[in-house]
Structure 1
Amino acid sequence: MMMSGVAKDRMAHPVKKRSSVSSLSGHEFRQKELHGYTKNSRSTVSYMDEPSQRDDPSRLTVQMENTYQLGPTKHFPMVIVNQILKDVLTSYLREEQYEPELCRQMTKTISEVIKTQVKDLMIPRYKLIVIVHIGQLNSQSILIGSRCLWDPKSDTFSSYVFRNASLSALASVYAVYFE
């Protein structure tokens, strides 16, 4: 297939777009042409759009960055969390007597307070699970267990047991690193 000379010239030279944008309306523009000027003159902006080398897709560079982290940069502060657990349980339950309905509400309240205080430490990329158990002290024993699949290098937990004359409480915070 043979190309004409005009087609070859068009392919050889990049196409230049010429345009102008006027801030005058059509009526004002005609009025300016007729009278030579208007009372409030407006400007016209002209531009020429020419393809450049930086628009060439083959010349674009892509920078790749590895953002994957192998484990936490800051470890979970177990000592501080243990102190939070001790302070919250002691302040809420020091003088309380065991009553089933009250203890049900106290477990919700205490777990929210603990979760808020641990989140205020702003430990990055850890998911927190807070569990509080409150039971009556009446010469019986209790066995509480939990199971979870986790990485022992980055995931951890903290717990504290509180007792007074009437009740026993266990608060646990599980910190699972989110990759």
Structure 2
Amino acid sequence: MMMSDIAKDRMTHSVRKRGSVSSLSGREFRQKELHGYTKNSRSTVCYTDEPSQGDEASRLTVQMENTYQLGPTQHFPVAIVNQILKDVLTNYLQEEQYEPEHCRQMAKTISEVIKTQVKDLMIPRYKLIVIVHIGQRKNQSILIGSRCLWDPKSDTFSSSVFRNSSLFALASVYAVYFE
């Protein structure tokens, strides 16, 4: 090999590594390089296929942040929900008499109204379960129970009881934090 062949090989290797392509001919490129003028010059496109180790160190490092939360940022407002339950039960059942078919429909309506009003509080990431029981008052007793599997740190409930001369009502709202 001659000296010019070795130089061409180095130049080719350098071009492949750096990825620079010049639209100037070899003679024009050398004249521009030697004399530093830009008359009749053409554009040069450069790109990098393989970054050198110096380039990797100069890049900005991306810092990742864990955004997973282990609990609610805003707790469920039990006192406000208790007041909503009391107000809705009183407004809907104050003057009502117990009739089985009418009370079945009233239980559905009251539970939807309660759920809508609690959702209007816009408490993030809580799933709501609303249950309303309406029964007749005739000197009998009733025991209503519920069991749930939940985290006592973030999950909670609210309930309210209403009574008039003809009926009783129990409304419960269960708030389960959704992770």
State TM-score, norm by structure 1: 0.72
1:125 CA displacement: 1.3
Work out which of the residue numbers 29, 36, 47 in structure 2 matches 1:51: 47
The structure whose residues are more often helix, as a share, is 2
Query: Which runs of no fewer than 5 residues in structure 2 stay unpaired?
Result: 1-5, 24-42
Work out which of the residue numbers 14, 18, 21 in structure 1 matches 2:19: 14
- Distance 1:13-1:68 versus aligned 2 partners, 3 A rule: closer
Deviations 1:138-170 (A, max 9, x none): 111111111111111111101001011111100
Q: How many residues align?
A: 148
1:88 CA displacement: 0.1
Q: Does 1:156 align with 2:156?
A: yes
> In structure 2, what is the Cα distance between the partners aligned to 1:113 and 1:136?
22
- Distance 1:62-1:17 versus aligned 2 partners, 3 A rule: farther
1:49 CA displacement: 5.6
- Distance 1:172-1:60 versus aligned 2 partners, 3 A rule: same
Q: Does 1:102 align with 2:107?
A: no
Partner residue, 2:126:
126
Mapping for residues 1-179 of structure 1, pairs under 5 Å: 5=9, 7-16=12-21, 50-51=46-47, 59=59, 61-179=61-179
> In structure 2, what is the Cα distance between the partners aligned to 1:117 and 1:79?
14
1:70 CA displacement: 2.1
- Distance 1:107-1:61 versus aligned 2 partners, 3 A rule: same
Query: Which runs of no fewer than 5 residues in structure 1 stay unpaired?
Result: 19-46
Contact 2:18 2:46 (8 Å CA) reproduced: no
> In structure 2, what is the Cα distance between the partners aligned to 1:178 and 1:124?
9
Deviations 1:43-82 (A, max 9, x none): xxxx9763369x9995464331111112112111111100
Larger Rg: 2
* C-alpha RMSD of the superposition: 2.8
- Distance 1:163-1:48 versus aligned 2 partners, 3 A rule: farther
- Distance 1:16-1:125 versus aligned 2 partners, 3 A rule: farther
Same amino acid, percent of matched pairs:
73
- SS in structure 1 at match of 2:134: strand
